[in-house]
């Protein structure tokens, strides 16, 4: 019998990442979570790693592979929200921080996994956002970082297609996770969001996980794509 596929899920201890972990376990994968905090399920593999630290990421991938075999599936779902203030009140450091976490973090872990594949086919899914498609108020740090993740998907996809590595992304719309609950607590107008949303509600993390795992595991001829999973948000008014 062949060994189970080994997947890393960054940010797998909360929200969308945790839902991806559950879906991948259901699909029979071995899963290792990379996060600052441990996953709720102590049976799931876990390496504490700050995704902004290049050396920590390299050591974490090596440890995960030593524990559970070569990683051929990667979901990059760690992240932080932006400062959610007008651009004129935003510090350049806020932008640097968002790029570091979302863009440099995704780039580093994806390269580290791909470098170690030695010819094995693999699949990567990055998490962008609907803020990568349109202008949003108070999102001048988060939106451009997520647009960079969307672009990174295309760049890595064409470079790594000859290696047999597919790279895709999902662009979630508003999803009920700690990140969004935190925004709502700071006064974010969720009723206005639901009113504008064609499907009329926020998504559940499991609804993101099913699309992420479709791209990761099933869509064997799709690469370089970013799929909005947004209840129709990005096509309103088109």
- Write out the catalytic residue numbers: 142
Please pick, from the candidates 11, 144, 228, 231, the single residue that binds ligand NAD as defined by CB under 6 A. Answer: 11
> Is residue 35 a contact residue for ligand NAD (CB under 6 A)?
yes
Nearest one of 34, 3, 2 to 18, comparing CA atoms: 34
How far is residue 235's CA from residue 220's CA, in Å, rounded to a whole number?
Answer: 26
Q: Choose one: 66-74, 76-84, 110-118, 216-224; the region binding ligand NAD (CB under 6 A).
A: 76-84
> Is residue 150 a contact residue for ligand NAD (CB under 6 A)?
no
Contacts of 140 (CB under 8 A, 6+ apart): 82, 87, 90, 95
Nearest one of 45, 42, 46, 106 to 79, comparing CA atoms: 106
> Is residue 180 a contact residue for ligand NAD (CB under 6 A)?
yes
> Is residue 172 a contact residue for ligand NAD (CB under 6 A)?
yes
Least distance in angstroms from the C-beta of 231 to ligand NAD: 11
Q: Are 228 and 147 in contact (CB under 8 A)?
A: no
Say how many Å lie between the first and final Cα of the chain, rounded.
50
Binding mask 48-67 for ligand NAD (x = CB under 6 A): -xxxx---------------
How far is residue 142's CA from residue 41's CA, in Å, rounded to a whole number?
Answer: 30
> Is residue 139 a contact residue for ligand NAD (CB under 6 A)?
no
Contact residues: ligand NAD, CB under 6 A: 11, 13-17, 35-37, 49-52, 77-80, 101, 127, 129, 172, 174-175, 177-180
């Amino acid at each position: 019998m062949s060994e189970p596929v080994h997947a890393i899920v960054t940010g797998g201890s909360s929200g969308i990442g945790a839902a991806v972990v559950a879906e991948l376990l259901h699909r029979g994968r071995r899963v290792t979570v990379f996060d600052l905090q441990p996953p709720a399920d102590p049976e799931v593999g876990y390496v504490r790693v700050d995704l902004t630290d290049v050396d920590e990421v390299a050591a974490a991938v090596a440890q995960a592979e030593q524990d559970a075999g070569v990683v051929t599936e990667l979901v990059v779902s760690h992240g932080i929200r932006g400062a959610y203030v007008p651009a004129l009140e935003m510090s350049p450091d806020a932008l640097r921080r968002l790029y570091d976490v979302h863009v440099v973090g995704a780039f580093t872990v994806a390269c580290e996994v791909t470098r170690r594949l030695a010819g094995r086919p693999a699949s990567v899914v990055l998490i962008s956002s609907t803020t990568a498609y349109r202008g949003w108020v108070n999102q001048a740090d988060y939106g451009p970082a997520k647009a960079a993740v969307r672009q990174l998907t295309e760049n890595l996809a064409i470079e790594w297609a000859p290696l047999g590595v597919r790279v895709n992304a999902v662009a979630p719309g508003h999803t009920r996770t700690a990140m969004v609950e935190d925004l709502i607590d700071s006064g974010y107008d969720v009723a206005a969001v639901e009113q504008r949303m064609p499907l009329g509600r926020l998504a559940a993390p499991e609804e993101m996980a099913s699309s992420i795992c479709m791209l990761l595991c099933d869509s064997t001829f799709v690469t370089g794509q970013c799929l909005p999973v947004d209840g129709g948000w990005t096509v309103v008014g088109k």
